[in-house]
Amino acid sequence: MNNAVDTSLFAPSGPGGGNEAILEVRDLCVGFPSDDGILHAVDNVSFDLRANETMGIVGESGSGKSVTSMAILGLLPKYAKITGSVKFRGEEILGVRDKDLTAIRGAKIAMVFQDALTSLNPVFRVGDQIAEAVSVHRKCDRKELRERSLELLELVGIPNPVARLEQFPHEYSGGMRQRAMIAMAIANEPDILIADEPTTALDVTIQAQVLDVLERIRDRTSSSIMLITHDLGVVAGVADRVLVMYAGRQVEMATVDDLFYRGLHPYAQGLLASLPRLDRRGDSGQLSRIHGQPPSLVFLPPGCAFNPRCPHAQPGVCDQNVPLLREVERDHFSSCIRAEELVAKGSES
């Protein structure tokens, strides 16, 4: 638990480097009290979000992706035990009063949620909900608000925006709802857009359109995007850098190319190997998989949380101390204690 990561590790470097970090997350821990003990949803997570980059956060369900993003915005319930530090443009935003956070939420850091149907208030018109996102942060008259809402709906590619403004969320299709959510999130041109599984509930065609909207908006407003997903395809398509999480811990952080072509952590390698590929067919025609089940977040295995499932696990090595995320190659971090060993082994064969 008390294995603080050396902050100097995150000095901007490598491809896309030179950009300053606008969000610095350090040693973020989130625990939820449960009947069996503390549930460690996020365990010692540290990363930087640089200006104008898209960072993917990947992991399976329960790996702490969403909790991380909600901790950043202070949206977790009161009983959550949160420690660590989150700095936005050098200013601490973790643990500050809710009142002070409202000025940042939606204006500086905005969020797009996974399920757009349940994330839109069913009893208010979509136009009013978008207008509200603007009006809570700056005073403007009705006409101005309406024009801005209209502009936003157009920006995210909703056809016939004038009529759509007056409609309720249940009159929207799934893809349109997600676009409306995005419109709301970008209403104040935030510096950071956190997209929590924005495409999970959508079919592939709509998914591509929504991702396209996100990319267009990032380029237009030069904001940074934190894209939370379990879909490696989405990450490969839009992210610059990727953070892989497992059981609430960081296991690998690298540029997309590094991760996909030179993955260092056995878990990340396992994830990539499990993707269906058109160009390579396995002997049995079956997809490869990671054996076993994700661990309980209350009773984590000793040492590396992945060691019971890891094909490269060494008894007496991997099950001793919780491994730290460290820079194994330039701008390529892994928490695997045997990373160098495995790289050497990989290049031999």
Sites of contact with other proteins (CB under 8 A): 70, 73, 75, 98-99, 102-107, 110-111, 113, 115, 118-124, 132-133, 136-137, 168, 170, 181, 184-185
What angle do helix axes 174-185 and 126-135 make, rounded to 10 degrees? 20
Sequence-separated (6 or more) residues with CB below 8 Å from residue 58: 65, 229, 230, 232, 235, 242, 243, 244, 245, 271
d(CA 295, CA 308): 9
Q: Which is nearer to other proteins, 27 or 115 (CB)?
A: 115
- Sorted by sequence, the CB contacts under 8 Å of residue 261 that are 6+ apart come out as none
Cα separation, 181 vs 320, in Å, equals 45
Q: How far is the CB of 111 from other proteins (least distance, A)?
A: 4
Please say which residue, 133 or 251, places its beta carbon nearer to other proteins.
133
State the nearest-atom distance from the C-beta of 60 to other proteins, in Å: 21
Torsion angle of the four alpha carbons 112, 115, 118, 121, in this order, in degrees rounded to the nearest 10? 20
Min dist. Cβ of residue 33 to other proteins (A): 14
228 versus 313: smaller Cβ distance to other proteins: 228
Q: Which residue has the tokens 């971090």?
A: 333
Q: How far is the CB of 109 from other proteins (least distance, A)?
A: 9
Q: How far is the CB of 221 from other proteins (least distance, A)?
A: 17
The token duo for 299 is 């009773």
Which C-beta is closer to other proteins: that of 134 or that of 238? 134
Smallest separation, CB 190 to other proteins (Å) = 10
- Judged by beta carbon, residue 166 or residue 257, the one nearer other proteins is 166
The residue among 123 and 204 lying less far from other proteins, judged by its C-beta, is 123
In whole angstroms, the minimum distance from the beta carbon of 307 to other proteins comes to 35
Extract the tokens encoding 2: 């008390």
- The tokens 């799934």 sit on which residue? 174
The type of residue at 186 is: I
Closer CB to other proteins, residue 42 or residue 116? 116
Which residues are 244's β-sheet partners? 58, 252
Q: Provide the pairing of β-strand 249-255 with 241-246.
A: antiparallel
Q: Of 74, 64, 78, whose CA–CA distance to 95 is shortest? A: 74
